[in-house]
Amino acid sequence: MTPEGYEALKETLKDKKAEIHRLAKAIGEAAEEGDLKENAEYHACRERQGIVKAQVDEIEDKLARAEVIDTTGLNGERIAFGAWVTLGDIDKGDEVTYRIVGADESDVDAGMISVTSPIARALINREVGDEVKVKTPGGVRSYEVVDVAWKAP
């Protein structure tokens, strides 16, 4: 996991814990309204509290097991974890830039792909000018590595 991903996960944990406290207060207020058997607000808050508690447990486990890799000192021509990679789609002619990150921080829409994804696995140890073929659900795609950077473009 990158340091940025680790910090984002810590911030999510903080938000989830704050939500648990808000829900506990809402549960207390709903309980004061009397008969809990037919109190929909009470039951909804308890259910949400259980869901958020499970999320907190999962995030705490991920943080405890996380191996944070500081990529700020990395450099070189070969693609590795943490690299920003610009690819040229050989068939379509357009370019796309991805950062190779840990599975828990991947977000394709934000340009972050998991190191375990098929495209990242195909890119590891490649360098500028290499052609890479990637099996996708739509068939085999061909890319050319246009740039490898260690800081956000």
User: Alpha-carbon distance 120 to 124, whole Å?
Assistant: 6
What tokens were used for 142? Answer: 């061909």
Q: Which CATH architecture has domain 84-149?
A: Roll (3.10)
What does pLDDT average to over the chain? Answer: 87
Q: Which CATH architecture has domain 3-65?
A: Orthogonal Bundle (1.10)
Task: Count CB neighbours of 27 within 10 A.
Answer: 20
Cα 146 to Cα 63, 79, 107, 109, 153, distances in angstroms:
34, 11, 21, 20, 13
Domain ranges of the chain: 3-65, 84-149
pLDDT at 4: 87
Between 3-31 and 40-65, two packed helices, what is the crossing angle to 10 degrees?
160
pLDDT greater at residue 141 or residue 56: 56
- Stretch 31-47: mean pLDDT, rounded? 76
